Structure 1
Amino acid sequence: MSRTSPHQHPHPTELSRRGLLKTAGGVTAALAVGAGSATLTAGTADAAPATFTHPGMLHAYGELNRAKVRVAAGDDPWLTGWQRLTVNRHSAATWTPNPQATIIRGGTGENYGTLYNDIHAAYQNALRWKIAGTTANADTAVRILNAWSATLTTVTGNADRFLAAGLYGYQFANAAELMRDYAGFDLARFKTMMLNVFYPLNNDFLLNHNTACITNYWANWDLCNMNSILAIGILCDDAAKYDQAVNYFKNGAGNGSLTHAIPFVYDSQGLAQYQESGRDQGHTMLGMGELGAFCEMAWSQGDDLYGYGDNRFMKCAQYVAKYNLGQDVPYTTYTWGTGQSCAQQSQTVISSASRGEIRPVWDILYYHYARRRGLSVPYIQAMAESVRPEGGGGDYGTTSGGFDQLGFGTLMYAK
């Protein structure tokens, strides 16, 4: 069941759903909205909720329950999304974790593939447990999570260590959030790992950017670390960390804040240019996934960042989708400072590199803007339809790019 009737058209900017979520997992709220008896109130989402909703990251109660009911009924597109999950080898209850004390991304001795494969296995097994109630999958998810929290002490490497801390931090926290109440899961130890291994790197990157010029790193570097801080805040009921991430989204000095990640808006066309559009389209679509994950996790806690800044993100996703569908979009020269001296570089044209690449980042956006909000997003819709049903880690190659998103948006967000 959607949290907002598809026939409602709330004001497009800066809505708060917090009042709708002060119930057990949002159940009563979802029912009330479905009945047309609740309204969204204005707010700016400046503070964490007084009480965090659990589960409350990429999947709150409403999404999980809808997928469970629809799959059981054999309804599409949920059923085909479910089938995409169950044939993925990472979702098998026979998965054996391979925890490491030290994870290295970048430089000599890289082994971070062991981490992202296990994280996606934990997440996919957790989804199978939540949707089908299979305890074998739950036991496997917990076995993976417990093995890593008992073993991992360090994430290191060259600058890429910050990518590992961000991407795998928020993904790990999402898997744990789904299993937080399951018997045998050592949630306290897992929280300690997130706070001691991942958060310090996330925080250091947003504060210092690896001692480089603040514009040196692409938006995705900030965004993945913002996602990790937000997810850790929710997992640990830590309001200060939640606020840190949301405030950075709104006001941060680096490229992950909304106006830096999306520097140019073409309001007359309903489009907006992404910071990495002149780099390549694979990383640009990664940015859509990172922004979508951030906005969805905040939405689950009652904050509408999807609509923040007059739907700036929606306009950007429309822009990215339109270009990757083979159509023309406007482009403004993008100039930034690099290295430690902030030496300037410029990109004068949009990049066609990896144009049309398939990434499972579109259904989360389509179902939010078109179904929850009732807005017209034709390019996002066309991209979503071209990718559907979305898979997850392991379905898009064996290299790290195929594990940048948790995926399965068709199964989890269809409305």
Structure 2
Amino acid sequence: MKKNLIFALGLSLITGFTACSSEIEDGTTDIDSWEMPYEEVVAKYTYTHPCAMFNEADFTRVKTMLDNGSAPQAVKDEFNLLKSSQFTNVTYTPSPTEKIVRGDATGTGTTENSNNAMRDAAAAYQLSLLWKLTGDTKYADTSIKILNAWAKVCKEVTSNDSNHMLAAGAQGYTFANAGEIMSTYSGWAANDLTAFKKWMKDVFAPKNLDFMKRHQGTCSDHYWSNWDLVNMCSYFAIGILNEDDEMVNFVVNYFYNGVGNGYIGKLIQGTFSDPLGSGEEIAQNQESGRDQGHAMMSIAVTANLCQMAYTLLQCNPTVTQLDFFAAKDNAIMKMGEYTALFNLRNGSDQLNAAGSWLATKEQMPFNRYEYCVDCSCADKNHGAIHTAIADDNGRGNLRPGWEILFNHYAKVKKLGSGYKYAKMAADKMRPEGGVDGGSRYGTNSGAFDQLGWGTLMLYRE
């Protein structure tokens, strides 16, 4: 299905912002320097499905090299991981619930049960990948069985606290990406596909939008970047699935000029030269002073968001604002470099193995960050001041997502430099897998925050 491309406003808005320093002399971030005069993007898009994480050309390229044996060994290895995943068994049985409850279940009439949605959304997505890469309709039929079951049963994402907004985001964009891929399957009955698309738009999208607009009634800086980012991913993917230009435009505009910490002007908290002397620029993440697990989650989910936007750009080449990867002089690449540098070790190719860190805490440049200090939130005791990068127990536990950054900047854009540490992180993780694909980031909720399987779909030698 396609729509004629109509760009309602001029395309004078460049993807990168006007060049300016992101730091000021006292070491804090000059957020105002990001807030350039901004013209809202209002576009009508062409949707050549699938066009969220990957498009038909991506699937054809990978399937062809798997079929003819020319795929790099790492791609073959990850393909085998996917086929052996507990979530890709064609006898997989979904466990839909009327309410997806994450957090305090008080008042919901049930217990916390979001694991059901986490597992089933991951299964639907992994099965959709296998269908496209093998042509075996048993995978397709099992994926749509899962999607249909949830659309028929589930009515709400809820809890007695804000944690359900994470489920609305993380599971929202996983379900939506599965549905986007499966929407090209002729065996999915038209009425069931319509019902699924409506379910996504009725159950998940309102939560995503409300969070980005109101942030649960708190100040716009109250929630860390990952909260915004999963909801941005979900709203964007649901918009693509439903061919809803208004939804897609909302996320594009939010990325460039939003109120929360998913806005690139807040997501990036300062740019520096690599302290190890590579000559690269690295950029502090909004969560870098919090803990490394969340800093890496922020990177991984940002990578997923950028990948979806770039895929949609392929159908809409004049809407250059969709190139989130390129924004603010490749700021996302630099943000990845900062976090990768601090989470990599010398002396071993194995994840989390003994070996000295590439960079010490003292070597890492850091802009003082004031989180919710003197903000408008009712609770005046929740703020924090970060003066150095967080060196915690989660350091070194890499999440899937580095393959996206390395592939884009090195293989798609063919930049000659700037991604040294993303490459090292991707090399260490490859084959990257995802949840149940080499046990990346465990099996709890953190394992389901990002889609994974980047080596399979993106890696090229």
Q: Which TM-score tier does this pair reach, normalised by the shorter chain?
A: 0.7 to 0.9
Corresponding position of 2:343: 324
Corresponding position of 1:361: 401
> Aligned with 1:288: secondary structure?
helix
Corresponding position of 2:84: 87
Corresponding position of 2:391: 352
- The answer to whether the Cα contact below 8 Å between 1:105 and 1:111 also exists between their aligned partners in 2 is yes
- TM-score norm. by structure 1 comes to 0.87
> Aligned with 1:90: secondary structure?
coil
- The answer to whether the Cα contact below 8 Å between 1:84 and 1:390 also exists between their aligned partners in 2 is no
Deviations 1:206-252 (A, max 9, x none): 11111112111100001111111111110000000000011000000
Corresponding position of 2:297: 286
> Aligned with 1:89: secondary structure?
coil
Corresponding position of 1:300: 311
The amino acid across from 2:183 in the alignment is: R
Structure 1 position 106, deviation (Å):
0.1
Corresponding position of 1:66: 61
Corresponding position of 2:431: 389
Corresponding position of 2:176: 173
Q: What 5-or-longer segments of structure 1 have no aligned partner?
A: 1-12, 16-43
Deviations 1:152-188 (A, max 9, x none): 1010011001111011111110000010032234211
The amino acid across from 1:371 in the alignment is: K
Is residue 414 of structure 2 the alignment partner of residue 374 of structure 1?
Answer: yes
Is residue 209 of structure 2 the alignment partner of residue 210 of structure 1?
Answer: no
Is residue 123 of structure 2 the alignment partner of residue 121 of structure 1?
Answer: yes
The whole-number CA distance in structure 2 between the counterparts of 1:287 and 1:45 is 25
Corresponding position of 1:260: 266
Greater helix proportion: 1
- The answer to whether the Cα contact below 8 Å between 1:53 and 1:300 also exists between their aligned partners in 2 is no
Structure 1 position 282, deviation (Å):
1.0
Corresponding position of 2:95: 98
The whole-number CA distance in structure 2 between the counterparts of 1:315 and 1:398 is 29
Structure 1 position 341, deviation (Å):
5.1
- The answer to whether the Cα contact below 8 Å between 2:303 and 2:401 also exists between their aligned partners in 1 is yes
The whole-number CA distance in structure 1 between the counterparts of 2:139 and 2:57 is 21
The whole-number CA distance in structure 1 between the counterparts of 2:91 and 2:294 is 33
Q: Which has the larger radius of gyration?
A: 2
> Aligned with 1:301: secondary structure?
helix
The more displaced of 279-288 and 329-338 is 329-338
Structure 1 position 398, deviation (Å):
2.2
The whole-number CA distance in structure 2 between the counterparts of 1:273 and 1:342 is 26
- The answer to whether the Cα contact below 8 Å between 2:99 and 2:157 also exists between their aligned partners in 1 is yes
Is residue 281 of structure 2 the alignment partner of residue 242 of structure 1?
Answer: no
Q: What 5-or-longer segments of structure 2 have no aligned partner?
A: 1-13, 17-38, 106-110, 274-278, 314-321, 345-356
The amino acid across from 1:130 in the alignment is: K
The whole-number CA distance in structure 2 between the counterparts of 1:49 and 1:383 is 37
The amino acid across from 1:184 in the alignment is: W
Corresponding position of 1:10: none
TM superposition outliers: structure 1 runs of 4+ over 6 Å = none
The more displaced of 388-397 and 315-324 is 388-397
- The answer to whether the Cα contact below 8 Å between 1:91 and 1:125 also exists between their aligned partners in 2 is yes
Give matches, 1:226-241, under 5 Å: 226-241=232-247
The amino acid across from 1:392 in the alignment is: G
> Aligned with 2:396: secondary structure?
coil
Corresponding position of 1:411: 456
Task: Give 1:184's match in structure 2, choosing from 174, 185, 188.
Answer: 188
> Aligned with 1:346: secondary structure?
strand
Corresponding position of 1:152: 154
Structure 1 position 14, deviation (Å):
2.8
Q: 1:45 to 1:293 in 2, by over 3 A?
A: farther
Q: 1:318 to 1:141 in 2, by over 3 A?
A: same
Structure 1 position 265, deviation (Å):
1.4
Structure 1 position 73, deviation (Å):
2.3
Q: 1:81 to 1:49 in 2, by over 3 A?
A: farther
Deviations 1:354-395 (A, max 9, x none): 111031111111100111111221100000000000111233
Deviations 1:313-368 (A, max 9, x none): 11100111111113332111111216435664201111122111031111111100
Structure 1 position 403, deviation (Å):
1.2
Structure 1 position 289, deviation (Å):
1.2
- The answer to whether the Cα contact below 8 Å between 1:265 and 1:272 also exists between their aligned partners in 2 is yes
Is residue 333 of structure 2 the alignment partner of residue 336 of structure 1?
Answer: no
The whole-number CA distance in structure 1 between the counterparts of 2:102 and 2:387 is 32
Say how many residue pairs are matched.
375
> Aligned with 2:87: secondary structure?
helix
Task: Give 2:445's match in structure 1, choosing from 389, 395, 400.
Answer: 400
Task: Give 1:161's match in structure 2, choosing from 159, 164, 167.
Answer: 164
> Aligned with 2:325: secondary structure?
coil
> Aligned with 1:118: secondary structure?
helix
> Aligned with 1:299: secondary structure?
helix
- The answer to whether the Cα contact below 8 Å between 1:59 and 1:300 also exists between their aligned partners in 2 is yes
> Aligned with 1:234: secondary structure?
helix
Corresponding position of 2:114: 112
The amino acid across from 2:405 in the alignment is: L
- TM-score norm. by structure 2 comes to 0.79
The whole-number CA distance in structure 1 between the counterparts of 2:307 and 2:226 is 17
Structure 1 position 49, deviation (Å):
4.4
The more displaced of 393-402 and 50-59 is 393-402
Structure 1 position 89, deviation (Å):
0.9
The whole-number CA distance in structure 2 between the counterparts of 1:259 and 1:220 is 15
Corresponding position of 1:141: 143
Structure 1 position 407, deviation (Å):
0.5
% identity of equivalent residues: 40
The whole-number CA distance in structure 2 between the counterparts of 1:242 and 1:414 is 27
- The answer to whether the Cα contact below 8 Å between 2:398 and 2:425 also exists between their aligned partners in 1 is no
Q: 1:89 to 1:48 in 2, by over 3 A?
A: farther
